[in-house]
Structure 1
């Protein structure tokens, strides 16, 4: 029985090892070397497992980073929304304060105009009344300018949609298209910001001469109507 067990053990070892014969250089005796050969598939499998684990780790780290970025974006969006609300509130406060300050400065001029309009003697004088109105207007203009008010350039300028409101187009082949030809209502800037856009008429090109007169006549009538 013991011999059979040893034989079975020898057979199992033979499945794991390969016997390689070699000749001895000293006398020709043969020697047997046992070399253990590891199956290539086992090595590849081990390497693949290591690679898979590494990729899983990188994937988990990437997911964590994405989650952190998403949280940061949500926080930034909430902060930006709060900032917009704060800016809107501050703007209302500034506008209200500026309006109150401007009205206070204009009250004296308004009252002067009111007194002049109610004074029948000044009305009868004519010339003196006109001079008085000019002085009041001059003072009015000075205060408005000191507050940062300035007129918007219009006629002859190129159309700027931020500063000009187009009421109509008029055919004119003598100037570049969208050149301002006429100012219907003056526009103003307050501290370099548009307080009221200028209402204007701009040029446009015409395809043929016959439509030129018709288009201009129509637009001129509309301007007169304004």
Structure 2
């Protein structure tokens, strides 16, 4: 053996001798150990790979959610803008309606008595003609009758418009209808607290008091 080893060392160009069985077994064990180490390394790194993959998937999912939320936010902004526009239009329309209504009411107030005045004008013309006749008239009775006709005509015209005169003499004093000017001793016991005289007549328009009767009350 020593001779062979020496020959190998002295002549490196010679082919190597065959490996022993022990050497072969050692090499197999070494390769097996290396394979096991490689597999363990791979298995150790698998969780890290899984976490990395999950992280990427999570980011992709978050990206999709962000896009969805941005879309919803944009839709909400558009709806809010549309509602604001509608509200502004409604406010403008209401303002125009309010101004138009105020103008119509003002015009109505200005012309409220126009119809009534138009019905009174003929009576007013009668008064003018009566005054002209009075300057030359000598018959007092005829003048009085003419004035009475004009008075009744005016009264009928006003009554046709809802005006009504109410009597107060002999009625129990009512603060809702009467305005007491003064009190005088009653002529009889049953006239105490009642209207004994009327200074100005009271008037109602469609059952509403528009002028209290000025009266004298017995006490």
Decide which structure has greater strand share: 1
Bigger share in helix: 2
Structure possessing the higher radius of gyration over alpha carbons = 2
